[in-house]
Chain A
Amino acid sequence: MTVRKYLLSTSVALAMSAVAGQAAAECASDALPASMEMPGGFPERALTMIVPYGPAGGSGQVAQAMAQAVSDLTNVSINRDHKPGGSGTVGMTAYMATPADGYTVLEHIDDAASAHALDSGKPNPAEALIPLVTSQITFSQIYIRKDEDRFTDWDSFVTWVKAQDGKATIANVSKEGSMERVTMKFITDATGMKIQQISFDKGAPRYGALAGGQVDALFEQPGDVRKFLDADKFMPILTILKEAPEAFADVPDLTDAGLDFDPLFRFRGFYVKAGTPEDRVKWLQWAFQKAYCEEGYQAYNESKFMTLIESFRDTEGSKELITETIAQYRDVYKEMGLEVK
């Protein structure tokens, strides 16, 4: 099976396109019971949530919003323990050293899946961990400055970039093999553009580079640059989805732009270690999935454009998402010539 055929067959892509543009009318976990008895008194003390990124970024914020929602729902406190560094490696390593007793949970993003795809020695989040809930799934876009006059839309941007003969620049994250870098490879391969990617590992300098005219474009997810969109500083010129959601109906999507590849997604979720007693896992699954529908958490997700496509996956849905994502990345890495261990 070729990579393209495989990607086209993935249920991830199908599921995404099916729900694109639909805000969830009913919250995904509404059907769960309003309360659940604590198994054997668990938890008797506060939970710890290991967050492999700093408190101010997207992961830190979603960890805080979810911890607050779970605490509001269950009256159980959650202490967040941020262990940033190594693109999530440090936090994951620290988490794997904790006991499987349910008292320590982990927040992680799709980087854990792509890291396992590249090196199977790193934990597989669908096997070494039990996903409690995936609470954010989002897509990426290409942005330019609103006052840009060299190009004004996707077509004129592609034409302009081609005329620069490799001198055009786009701000992106720094990690090779990341969702962002792989997607940019899809785009440049499909369009024949040569564009220099400038590596920024932090959001603020990355956004500042576009706002200040240091780069010509920016690769990012809409929730992270919402303030620039609301302030009319940035504008999206390409939505990296097969079908753009209603909120970005006037922005070309992959189909409009004639780009024939399946998009990769940024997703964030919460996990507990495999081997945790089953009754505790069930309680944690209930708490985290139910908390997803708490008003505060939903308001947070909405503020981050996380309701434009369905963001919720329960344990089985998350495992499916992770497993398919790992397979996607593994095939792409092999095609890119990266050493897959």
Chain B
Amino acid sequence: MIAETFNNFLGGTAALFGDPMGVLIFFGGVVGGMLFGAIPGVSMLTLAAILLPFTAHLSAEHGIMLFSVIYCTGVYGGAITAILFNIPGAPENAPTAFDGYPMTLKGEAGKAVGAAVMCSAIGGTVSCIVMMLATAAIADWAISAFGPPEIFALVFFGLAVAASVGAKSFWKGWLSIMAGLMIAVIGLDPVGGIERYNFDMPYLAAGIHFIPTILGFFAVSEIFVQAEKKATGSFKAPKLSVDFPTFKELWMHKIAVIRSIFIGFFCGILPGIGATLAAFMGYNEAARWSKHRAEFGTGRIEGVISSETANNAATGAAMIPLLALGLPGGALTAMMVGVFQMHDMEPGPLVFINSPDLVWVVFAAMFFANLSILLVGFLEAKTIVNLLRIPFQYLAPMILCLATVGAYAVRGLTIDVIVMFVAGVAGFFLRRSGYSVAGIVLGLILGKIGEQTFAQAMQMLHFEFSGFLGRPIAFGLLIAGFITIFASVYGAFFKKKPQLTES
């Protein structure tokens, strides 16, 4: 099977690079994905939406290949602004900012960006190889083994450790998570579509979108924090650094990389879940197993490594349910369905039978797109890091403008800009009080997925909690989540760890 896969891969590679138009589209996708991922205010989804109608004029191979390349490099591109300016290019880059931006403040921007480049490439390439080897088998296993009860249990397991990220005390950590969960319930309920907490405001019926919330809590609140320091004379400009991490430094975190590959791949193959949950779960698990758990959120390179490995590992995995079953894992893969349909094709099992050439050109393109992150990513990073030379008084308004455009661009609604600024002001005061804005964002994103899957799980289990006992994977994850919570309670109140006491 491996020999056949390798032959198919070589065939796909030859088809990709033997066609000048294909090469042009490939490099256009690599650079476009990185740029749109890295420019605050736009994302790879913006680029994909712009390009979607034009793919009708390309061949099916070129259209699908372009989108898959944009997907690989766009997920990486958002890490750069997350690290340098605390502006995640996309939700899946938000956990990268948790530690990446503190590293920038400590003068370690180069190390953080370098880690993001390396780990994005590793995570993406490995998942791409697994995708090539076992797409059909993995897809069938994933959708039969993982239903709503298992996904809910996975989210619960993730939330159990999230309270320890970035807050100054046990209670403030949990209150931050709870605040995020509260925000997540605004809008239509996932069972009956009943409006909740929208105070008869139609725009709130759609809920609080997480992109403006992330921009507010991270970018806007950070500008306020830095502005206050500037006003009080305690401002220190981030030290410019282009020192990338050494191989030895990365090797020290090999376990975190491997763990995140598994997590990212696993989250990626679940329909409708995708890279965002992958990045958050990857980060959470790195924090859970780290000896320096209390230092997460203060500039640990492990945080960047785990988040960026996981979100890129999800890209190859997300292609598995798309190609094998026709089930998109996220927004960009859903747009790929549109590209297929423009060419009178449907992604799904028949694609492998009817269009094997297309599949292998796409596989080869994704493989080389992930590898190209190493080369183009380093060149891009060396350039973009220099933006830190811009004095704060010029940089801050630019970031605010870009964040405002980014918040508005999500749906073209003014309320999203208002949400961003409210989150920015709230984030400023919450951070001063020792609460964790990372925890709030974790609660918001995992809360939306968790509530929906909990409701579905309860319907499937006929509203009996004992139904989880009959689903070993879900039950195991719930037990692991409870153990984590008990361990954190024990650590906070019985072991008297200094980092978990009120500061």
Contacts and interface: CB of A to CB of B under 8 A. Distances in A.
B187 interface: yes
B216 interface: no
B245 interface: no
B412 A196 contact: no
Judged by DSSP, the binding face of B is helix
Contacts of B462: 166-167, 196
16 contacts: A55-B335, A83-B411, A83-B413, A84-B206, A84-B411, A85-B207, A167-B462, A175-B192, A196-B460, A198-B460, A199-B191, A201-B190, A205-B327, A207-B325, A214-B144, A303-B341
A208 B337 CA distance: 15
A291 to B, nearest CB: 15
B190 A93 contact: no
A320 B464 CA distance: 46
Contact of A209 (B56, B147, B205, B206): B147
A197 interface: yes
A60 B328 CA distance: 15
B206 A208 contact: no
A110 B143 CA distance: 31
Interface in B357-379: none
A196 B455 CA distance: 12
The 3 A-B residue pairs whose C-beta atoms are closest, nearest first, are A85-B206, A212-B143, A175-B193
Contacts, number: 157
A4 interface: no
Given A169-B459, A196-B462, A83 B412 contact: yes
Contacts of A93: 202-203
A228 B144 contact: no
Nearest to B48: A55
Nearest to B142: A212
A259 interface: no
A174 B189 CA distance: 9
Interface in B41-66: 49, 52-53, 56
A208 B325 contact: yes
Given A54-B334, A55-B338, A199-B191, A299 B344 contact: yes
Contact of B348 (A54, A94, A200, A231): A231
Contacts of B344: 299, 303
A205 B348 contact: no
Interface in B459-489: 459-460, 462
A56 B331 contact: yes
Nearest to B452: A201
A90 interface: yes
Nearest to A196: B459
Contact of A87 (B193, B203, B335): B193
A199 B455 contact: yes
A94 to B, nearest CB: 7
Interface of B: 49, 52-53, 56, 140, 142-148, 187-188, 190-195, 202-203, 205-207, 271-272, 321, 325-329, 331, 334-335, 337-338, 341, 344, 346-350, 411-413, 452, 455-456, 459-460, 462
A209 B459 CA distance: 13
Interface residues of A, number: 54
A54 B346 CA distance: 19
B52 A55 contact: yes
A303 B346 CA distance: 10
Contacts of A199: 190-192, 455-456, 459
B325 A211 contact: yes
Interface of A: 54-57, 60-61, 64, 68, 81-87, 89-90, 92-94, 166-167, 169, 174-178, 196-202, 204-205, 207-209, 211-215, 226-228, 230-231, 233, 299-300, 303
Contacts of B194: 176
Contact of A174 (B52, B144, B190, B347): B190
Contacts of B348: 227-228, 230-231, 233
Given A94-B413, A205-B271, A208-B325, A85 B205 contact: yes
A82 B206 CA distance: 13
Nearest to B192: A176
Nearest to B325: A211
Nearest to A177: B193
B190 A208 contact: no
A231 B350 contact: yes
A187 B332 CA distance: 36
A254 B414 CA distance: 47
A87 B341 CA distance: 24
Given A174-B190, A227-B346, 19 more contacts: A83-B413, A84-B206, A85-B205, A85-B207, A93-B202, A167-B462, A176-B194, A198-B460, A199-B459, A201-B190, A201-B452, A204-B327, A204-B328, A207-B325, A209-B143, A211-B325, A227-B326, A303-B341, A303-B344
A204 B272 contact: yes
A202 B190 CA distance: 11
Nearest to B348: A227
